[in-house]
Structure 1
Amino acid sequence: MNMISPIFTDVGALADIPRLGARCVKTAMGDIAIFRTADDRVFALRDQCPHKHGPLSQGIVHGTSVTCPLHAWVISLETGEVEGPDDGCTKRFSVKLENGRVLLAVAP
């Protein structure tokens, strides 16, 4: 089985994203929100709530979730799934940290 490895692109320093905050990265695939948790983990989601397309990068990060700024839907940073009682999902992207830099998988 031949697996294609993702291509990671440096999108900035972890220090540039506040703890419990986010940064929006514009890509050919659309805007992607990079989130930083209180314990310095990073997650990446399409910067669009599945409800009314609110900008998740402007939401409130708590634990491993983000609350959409428009209608308070709560989305898991780990899965992209909306947490009950609502239903929906936003696309996740692979992201990792290397030497204090945030690397985002933008292809394939």
Structure 2
Amino acid sequence: MTKIFATKKSKLIPRVGRLITVDGKNIAIFQTTSGSIHALADYCPLTEAPILEGIVSGDFLYEPMREYKISLVTGEIQEPDEGQVTVYPVELSGEDIYLEV
């Protein structure tokens, strides 16, 4: 895996996704209200659509079109649905956010 600079923490809005593109891959970065930062592939295997517009609540992302939720921590789509979204490890260095891709 390669560590890359993604964005500044100050550019994130809690509960609102921010999109970055790395080597042609779209990655959605989310900050929860508790301040934790998570990065997931901006692609849902159930809908084959982006997840960026999902609604963040706690450590979950709710997909409004099909009403399912994804763990921001593990990327696991919660029961009764199933599936897995790719999660990228996040590292903070001051205000800088780095991802391992």
The answer, yes or no, to whether TM exceeds 0.5 is yes
Structure 1, unaligned stretches of length 5 or more?
A: 1-5
Matched with 2:100 is 105
Matched with 1:39 is 34
Residue by residue over 1:26-65, the C-alpha shift from the partner in whole angstroms, topping out at 9 and shown as x without a partner, is: 1115111111111111111110112112321111011011
Work out the CA distance in 2 between the residues paired with 1:74 and 1:43: 15
Work out the CA distance in 2 between the residues paired with 1:39 and 1:101: 18
Q: 4+ residue runs of structure 1 moved beyond 4 angstroms?
A: none
Correspondence for 2:51 among 39, 53, 56: 56
In the superposition, the TM-score normalised over structure 2's length comes to 0.91
Matched with 1:88 is 83
Matched with 1:3 is none
* Total equivalences in the alignment: 101
Structure 2, unaligned stretches of length 5 or more?
A: none
Work out the CA distance in 2 between the residues paired with 1:27 and 1:73: 27
* Structure 1 counterpart SS, 2:76: coil
Residue by residue over 1:53-101, the C-alpha shift from the partner in whole angstroms, topping out at 9 and shown as x without a partner, is: 2321111011011012331220001100011111111111111211011
* Structure 2 counterpart SS, 1:56: coil
Larger radius of gyration: 1
Matched with 2:70 is 75
In the superposition, the TM-score normalised over structure 1's length comes to 0.85
Sort the Cα spacing of 1:92 and 1:45 in 2 relative to 1 into closer, same or farther, 3 A.
Answer: same
